[in-house]
Structure 1
């Protein structure tokens, strides 16, 4: 809300600085949830094309749905216990087979035009 809008509201007798509750917020959360669950590779820009503001979509994804972008997929920010155990099992298996990393060569990728 702009400064001029707040000033006008205080002149009209408003006492608090809180924004009015926005209508349709729950509907936006439901729409974004349905879109993300149908295809987790959808980006914020593509979801926003369904007649929503990009910042609204970002806020719904992060705050209301508790998700974030990870390797081009929307995933929950907090792993479940089963997911954590799976990560531990995979990491332990990789550490046991450390000799497979002997042939790996790493370096800085430099692009020359």
Structure 2
């Protein structure tokens, strides 16, 4: 009886070749929102090999988008700052400013978000920034009019 390993029969694993790593990297760079199943279909490599190539060779992981209250462009942010500044100046110039404000009834604004958390997740390296997604839900809106 021997405790040494004997040669195993069967094929050696060849799925994690440089060619397959490059192929899978190219597929992921084309569309970061693909699932492992979609990468398997496009590459022809087994599911477990694709998973190991993504995590070990390419160092990427699936990251879901972080929810933030709103995603505003720089122009929208600047517009909000300018509006608030002008309202502040108006109030400083006219102490009766708020007596001119008319508010309306509150109503519900329905916001539909067709993308789930799973659909928003994408492949990212540890060094790349995390994706963001605006939190969109049912909320109550008030209408304000100035005279």
Q: Normalising by the residue count of structure 1, what TM-score does the alignment of the two structures yield?
A: 0.50
State the 1:61 CA deviation.
0.4
What does residue 33 of structure 1 align with? 25
Structural mapping, 1:59-98, within 5 Å: 59-71=52-64, 72-76=121-125, 78-79=126-127, 83=129
Unaligned 5+ segments in structure 2 are 65-120, 131-147
Q: Which has the larger radius of gyration?
A: 2
* 1:84-104 residue CA offsets vs partner (Å, 9 max, x unmatched): 9xxxxxxxxxxxxxxxxxxxx
Report the Cα distance in structure 1 between the residues aligned to 2:28 and 2:41, rounded to whole angstroms: 13
Going by fraction, where is helix more abundant, 1 or 2?
1
State the 1:79 CA deviation.
2.3
Mark the CA change 1:38 to 1:79 in structure 2 (over 3 Å): closer, same or farther.
same
Higher RCO by CA contacts (8 Å cutoff, separation 6 or greater): 2
Mark the CA change 1:44 to 1:37 in structure 2 (over 3 Å): closer, same or farther.
same
Going by fraction, where is strand more abundant, 1 or 2?
2
Unaligned 5+ segments in structure 1 are 1-5, 11-18, 85-113
RMSD: 3.0
Report the Cα distance in structure 1 between the residues aligned to 2:56 and 2:33, rounded to whole angstroms: 19
Q: Normalising by the residue count of structure 2, what TM-score does the alignment of the two structures yield?
A: 0.39
Q: Which runs of 4+ in 1 moved over 4 A?
A: none
Task: Kindly tell me the number of residue pairs found equivalent between the two proteins.
Answer: 68
